[in-house]
Amino acid sequence: MTPDQAFAEMVAQGDIALDKLAECAQRWPDKTFIHYGEDGVKLTFAQFADMTDRFAGGLLAAGVKPGEAVSVLTRNSLVSALAMFGIWRAGCLFAPINFNFKGPQLSYQLADTKPAALVTDP
C-alpha cells in the first residue's frame, strides 16, 4: 500500500481521534483527559478540546493551509499532544521532529518535510 492509498483509506474511515475527542468533550467535559505529571497540569476533555481548537485557529490565521505539514520540535509532551491534535484539527499533517536532531539531521528533516510552520517549546 502506498502512502497515498493509506491516507485515502484513513480519510474514508473518518477522523477517529478528533471525533473521539469531540465526543468525550461533550459526554464528560469536566473529566480529566490528560495529566502532565512534570508540571502537575491537568486538563479536562473540554479544556483540551478548546485548546486544540484555538491552536488550529491560530495556525490557519497565520496562513497555514489544510494539507500542509507542520513540524513539532519540543521536549514537552503536553505541548506536543496539544500541537498534534491542533494540527490535525486544522487539517494539516503532523510532522514531529526528534528533539535530539542537530545540524545535518535537523536540516535534512526540515528540508525533506518542508513544513509551513514549526512549533517549538515556549
Q: What is the pTM of this model?
A: 0.84
Work out the widest C-alpha separation in the chain, in whole angstroms. Answer: 47
Inter-CA distances, 53 with 33, 85, 95, 99, 109, Å: 15, 8, 18, 25, 27
Q: Where are the domains of the chain?
A: 3-120
pLDDT at residue 96 greater than cutoff 90: yes
Q: What crossing angle do the helices spanning 45-61 and 16-27 adopt, rounded to 10°?
A: 130
The H or E element spanning position 114 is none
Q: How far apart are CA 76 and CA 41, in angstroms?
A: 12
pLDDT in tens, 15-52: 678 888 888 899 999 999 999 877 789 999 999 999 99
Tell me the average pLDDT across 61-71.
96
Q: Which amino acid would we find at residue 32?
A: T
The highest-confidence range among 9-13, 102-106, 118-122, by mean pLDDT, is 102-106
Of the options 3.40.50.150, 3.30.420.40, 3.30.70.3280, 3.40.50.980, the CATH number for the domain spanning 3-120 = 3.40.50.980
